């Protein structure tokens, strides 16, 4: 009996020595929540949305917005392949219809520039007075809305010796319904050459112009405001550009182009001959226009001269 008790005690002691002390189980750590992936930003969609916001902005008058139906600014600038980081030079902006778009569209990310005619280069005192007054009014427009136009740089250029900036400094040059004026003044070839000089290699020239039809009064009368598309293309290609594409976004097949007072017979001018009904011309709408995109191609690298063959000894 005593031996059995001793054996039992020994067994219990050995079991106690072999069993590790129980410890409280450590709490299971909480799972780390998966990081929320950053939203994918589509630059093209962002820029398109900004376009829509600018077009609807308060910096544009209701009258100017109403002309979008004829001028198609978003589609036109997208056809020119404008980018938010671009330096864009708008030539002779008039009252600033396109500047109201380009200023706020590019002011924070790119560089909008306007090129105004230097009154000192005008061919007559009357023209000098006109350019002086229009430039003052345009600069006042920019100054009155710094939030929209604070990023716009205004430059002046001479009609007879145009320079639009440092060579190769701009991504894009745009001009809207101006070429007929330069053609009439004999300044168009020099102006197109200056476009070529200011653009970077690969840069874009975008042109919108009233389009004449061969064999009509619009093509025969240089005072009509219309030009033949082939003539405008030749001005650009003679300056070194390559025609990249044409668009019919600003076409108006209802424009017969045979109006007594040229393009100015149509809206928005409506310079209608006495006795004629304005409603007829309002129904036609604004002029038929060519929309052309040109590219300044990089100059080909010169072909290296062949190495001279070693002379025989």
pLDDT in tens, 90-136: 999 999 999 999 999 999 999 999 999 999 999 899 999 999 999 99
Q: Residue 6: what pLDDT?
A: 45
Distance CA 272, CA 48 (A): 38
Whether 116 and 155 have beta carbons less than 8 Å apart is answered as: yes
Q: Rounded CA gap, 244 and 80, in Å?
A: 10
DSSP character for 167? Answer: T
**In the beta sheet, which residues pair with residue 289?**
210
The structure tokens listed for 35 are 């990081």
| pLDDT at res. 308 | 63
- Which top CATH class is 61-253+290-295? alpha beta
Structure tokens at 14: 């050995």
pLDDT value for 4: 45
| Verdict on whether the full-model pTM lies above 0.95 | no
Enumerate residues 6+ apart whose C-beta is below 8 A from 132.
119
DSSP codes of every residue in 38-66: PPPP-HHHHHHHHHHHHHTSTTS-HHHHH
Domain ranges of the chain: 61-253+290-295
First-last CA distance in the chain: 124
CA dist., res. 119 & res. 121, Å (int) = 5
pLDDT tens digits, the chain, 313 residues: what are they? 454 444 544 454 444 445 444 455 666 666 667 677 767 768 888 898 999 999 999 999 999 999 999 999 999 999 999 999 999 999 999 999 999 999 999 999 999 999 999 999 998 999 999 999 999 999 999 999 999 999 999 999 999 999 999 999 999 999 999 999 999 899 999 999 999 999 999 999 999 999 999 888 788 887 899 999 999 999 999 999 999 999 999 999 999 999 999 999 999 999 999 999 999 999 999 999 999 999 999 876 666 666 665 555 4
């Amino acid at each position: 009996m005593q031996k059995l008790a001793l054996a039992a005690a020994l067994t219990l002691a050995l079991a106690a020595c072999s069993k590790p002390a129980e410890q409280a189980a450590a709490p299971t750590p909480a799972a780390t929540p998966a990081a929320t992936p950053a939203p994918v930003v589509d630059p093209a969609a962002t820029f398109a949305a900004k376009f829509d916001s600018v077009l609807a902005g308060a910096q544009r008058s209701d009258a100017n917005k109403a002309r979008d139906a004829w001028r198609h600014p978003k589609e036109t600038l997208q056809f020119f392949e404008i980018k938010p980081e671009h330096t864009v030079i708008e030539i002779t902006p008039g009252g600033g219809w396109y500047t109201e778009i380009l200023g706020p569209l590019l002011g924070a990310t790119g560089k909008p520039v306007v090129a105004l005619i230097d009154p000192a280069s005008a061919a007559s005192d009357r023209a000098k007075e006109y350019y002086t007054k229009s430039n003052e009014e345009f600069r006042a427009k920019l100054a009155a809305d710094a939030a929209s136009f604070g990023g716009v740089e205004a430059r002046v250029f001479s009609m007879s010796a145009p320079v639009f900036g440092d060579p190769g400094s701009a991504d894009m040059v745009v001009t809207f319904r101006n070429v007929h004026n330069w053609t009439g003044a004999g300044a168009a070839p020099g102006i197109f050459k200056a476009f070529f000089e200011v653009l970077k290699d690969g840069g874009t020239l975008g042109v919108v112009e009233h389009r004449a039809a061969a064999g009509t009064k619009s093509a025969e009368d240089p005072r009509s405001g219309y030009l033949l598309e082939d003539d405008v293309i030749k001005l650009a290609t003679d300056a070194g550009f390559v025609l990249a594409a044409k668009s019919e976004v600003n076409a108006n097949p209802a424009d017969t182009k045979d109006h007594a007072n040229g393009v100015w017979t149509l809206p928005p001018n409506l310079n209608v001959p006495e006795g004629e009904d304005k409603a007829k011309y309002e129904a036609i709408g604004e002029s038929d226009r060519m929309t052309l995109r040109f590219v300044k191609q990089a100059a080909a690298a010169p072909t290296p001269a062949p190495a001279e063959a070693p002379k025989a000894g």
